[in-house]
């Protein structure tokens, strides 16, 4: 982009042009050095955005073509707040209550410690369910269906009584996907597609890559960026890992969304605008407000250090005082967002009417080293 064009791009969104340039140069340098195979970043306000800036290569082969402008990423756990907002649509329509017991909706969700689990517990990581199943790898190696994962979740041992602790639980979102299917009568991917993605014109977003993406005249599958998986898994995980057709198509409600930076920007703008985008309302204002405030505050069985120091909304991670992985050190106290194990982060700062979407193909757990630094640089560019 020419210098004047770049300055227009930054200033139209209220960014310091020099700091924004340094931010993009930093990400570009990381990609040139091979520290990150590919990346896309977009920043904006509730009513405007920068362009999407992309860096790196489409695949892990350094000789492969440069990453496409319309590149699609497996965004991993950024899936969770999207699924949460889908479940909250059922709440605002009077079809579901947050205090409904899960066992009364999902009949196979039975066994020791499960009777007291509510929808609220699933949405706030306070259910006691595990993050991943003990047989997670075996299930993926065998190309297990979501029904098989659900069977494993329903048989899983609870780590603590519901509402008595907080433990990040991907499997709770597996159950939420089944709740959405049971109540709506549609699969979770179909519900999200019709009720959220289509409404927001997120045309390159899907919970699981549908078969049509692989059709010759569609081409979306060719736009999916290849993720750098750990070296010890590159061969063994070729048919079940993040880059496999199996995993991309499974549609795991805890981490299976594929999307573009520009599509996720529309989702972020909708949240910033209280549930509306381009004049169309997708979520009620009450839903957005409830989803993004500390929902652990009223769960008095949870230790104060967790309730106040590591708060969660409904599916959204809030600002954690004294802890800045992925989101950086410069955002406001009402910040909320989510990160993904594949090297992704989306954050929203309502006090500054700002958001950022950073998608990469470099896993960065547990600290999000590059994402933290880039988030700081973006936050510093906000005027």
Q: What are the pLDDT tens digits along the chain (383 aa)?
A: 334 456 788 999 999 999 999 999 999 999 999 999 999 999 999 999 999 999 999 999 989 999 999 999 999 999 999 999 999 999 999 999 999 999 999 999 999 999 999 999 999 999 999 999 999 999 999 999 999 999 999 999 999 999 999 999 999 999 999 999 999 999 999 999 999 999 999 999 999 999 999 998 999 999 999 999 987 677 777 899 999 999 999 999 999 999 999 999 999 999 999 999 999 999 999 999 999 999 999 999 999 999 999 999 999 999 998 888 899 999 999 999 999 999 999 999 999 999 999 999 999 988 899 999 999 999 999 99
Domain count, the chain: 2
- Chain center to CA of 142: 25
Tell which of 193, 215, 231 closes a domain: 193
Residues 67 and 208 in one domain: yes
**Which CATH number is 65's domain given?**
3.40.710.10
C-alpha distances (whole Å) from 347 to each of 27, 40, 51, 69, 326 are: 17, 14, 17, 22, 9
Residues 276 and 151 in one domain: no
Instruction: Measure the CA–CA gap between 68 and 38, rounded to whole angstroms.
Output: 10
Residues 212 and 351 in one domain: yes
Residues 233 and 289 in one domain: yes
Kindly write down the DSSP assignment for every residue of 73-113, as one continuous string: EE-GGGHHHHHHHHHHHHHHTTS--TT-BGGGTSTT--STT
pLDDT for 3: 40
Instruction: Measure the CA–CA gap between 175 and 8, rounded to whole angstroms.
Output: 46
H-state helical runs in the chain: 3-11, 17-32, 79-92, 119-123, 136-141, 146-155, 170-184, 188-192, 245-250, 261-272, 285-291, 304-309, 369-381
In a domain, 89, yes or no: yes
In a domain, 2, yes or no: no
Residues 175 and 273 in one domain: no
pLDDT tens for each residue of 161-215: 999 999 999 999 999 999 999 999 999 999 999 999 999 999 999 999 999 999 9
Tell which of 170, 193, 216 closes a domain: 193
Residues 189 and 212 in one domain: no
C-alpha distances (whole Å) from 120 to each of 97, 295, 314, 326, 369 are: 8, 9, 8, 25, 31
pLDDT for 7: 75
Q: Give the residue among 353, 115, 341 at the shortest CA–CA distance from 242.
A: 341
Residues 57 and 96 in one domain: no
Kindly give, in sequence order, each residue whose CB lies less than 8 Å from that of residue 120, ignoring residues fewer than 6 positions away.
Answer: 98, 99, 126, 295
pLDDT tens for each residue of 101-135: 999 999 999 999 999 999 999 999 999 999 999 99
Q: b vs e for 216-227, b when ≥16 Cβ sit within 10 Å of the residue's Cβ?
A: eeeebbebbbbb
Strand pairing partners for 348? 336, 355
Residues 219 and 143 in one domain: no
* Helix pair angle (17-32, 3-11), 10° resolution: 110
Residues 126 and 265 in one domain: no
CA quadruple 16, 338, 335, 375: dihedral positive or negative? negative
In a domain, 5, yes or no: no
pLDDT for 365: 82
pLDDT for 194: 98
Tell which of 169, 193, 217 closes a domain: 193
Residues 364 and 223 in one domain: yes
In a domain, 9, yes or no: no
Count CB neighbours of 95 within 10 A. 11
pLDDT for 4: 46
Residues 221 and 318 in one domain: yes
pLDDT for 6: 65
In a domain, 284, yes or no: yes
Kindly report the CA angle at 347 between 343 and 368, in degrees rounded to 5? Answer: 30
Domain limits for position 179 = 80-193
Q: Give the residue among 355, 327, 343 at the shortest CA–CA distance from 36.
A: 343
pLDDT for 161: 96
In a domain, 316, yes or no: yes
pLDDT for 366: 84
Residues 94 and 44 in one domain: no
Instruction: Measure the CA–CA gap between 193 and 200, rounded to whole angstroms.
Output: 10
In a domain, 117, yes or no: yes
Q: Give the residue among 32, 64, 38, 37 at the shortest CA–CA distance from 53.
A: 38
In a domain, 317, yes or no: yes
């Amino acid at each position: 982009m020419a210098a004047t064009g770049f300055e227009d791009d930054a200033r139209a969104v209220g960014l310091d042009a020099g700091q924004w340039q340094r931010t993009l140069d930093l990400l570009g340098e990381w990609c040139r050095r091979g520290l990150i195979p590919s990346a896309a970043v977009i920043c904006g306000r509730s009513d405007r955005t920068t362009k999407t800036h992309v860096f790196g290569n489409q695949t892990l082969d350094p000789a492969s073509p440069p990453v496409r402008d319309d590149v699609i990423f497996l965004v991993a756990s950024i899936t969770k707040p999207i699924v949460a907002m889908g479940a909250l649509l059922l709440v605002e329509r009077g079809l579901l209550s947050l205090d409904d017991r899960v066992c009364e909706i999902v009949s196979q969700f039975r066994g020791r410690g499960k009777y007291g689990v509510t929808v609220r517990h699933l949405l706030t990581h306070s259910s006691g369910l595990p993050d991943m199943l003990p047989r997670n790898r075996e299930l993926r190696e065998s190309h297990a269906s979501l029904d098989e994962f659900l069977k494993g979740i329903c048989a899983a041992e609870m780590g603590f009584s519901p509402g008595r602790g907080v433990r990040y639980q991907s499997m709770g979102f597996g159950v939420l996907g089944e709740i959405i299917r049971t109540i709506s009568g549609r699969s979770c991917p179909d519900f999200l597609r019709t009720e959220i993605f289509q409404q927001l014109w997120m045309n390159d977003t899907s919970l699981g890559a549908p078969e049509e993406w692989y059709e010759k005249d569609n081409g979306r599958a060719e736009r999916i960026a290849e993720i750098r998986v750990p070296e010890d898994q590159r061969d063994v995980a070729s048919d079940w890992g993040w880059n496999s057709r199996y995993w991309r198509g499974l549609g795991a409600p805890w981490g299976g969304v594929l999307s573009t930076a520009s599509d996720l920007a529309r989702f972020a703008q909708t949240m910033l605008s209280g549930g509306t985008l381009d004049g169309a309302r997708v979520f009620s204002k009450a839903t957005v407000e409830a989803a993004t405030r500390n929902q652990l505050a009223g769960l008095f069985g949870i230790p104060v250090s967790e309730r106040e120091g590591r708060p969660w909304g409904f599916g959204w991670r809030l600002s954690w005082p004294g802890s800045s992985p992925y989101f950086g050190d410069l955002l406001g106290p009402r910040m909320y967002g989510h990160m993904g194990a594949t090297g992704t982060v989306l954050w929203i700062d309502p006090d500054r009417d700002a958001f950022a979407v950073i998608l990469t193909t470099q896993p960065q757990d547990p600290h999000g080293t590059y994402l933290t630094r880039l988030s700081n640089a973006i936050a510093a560019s906000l005027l």
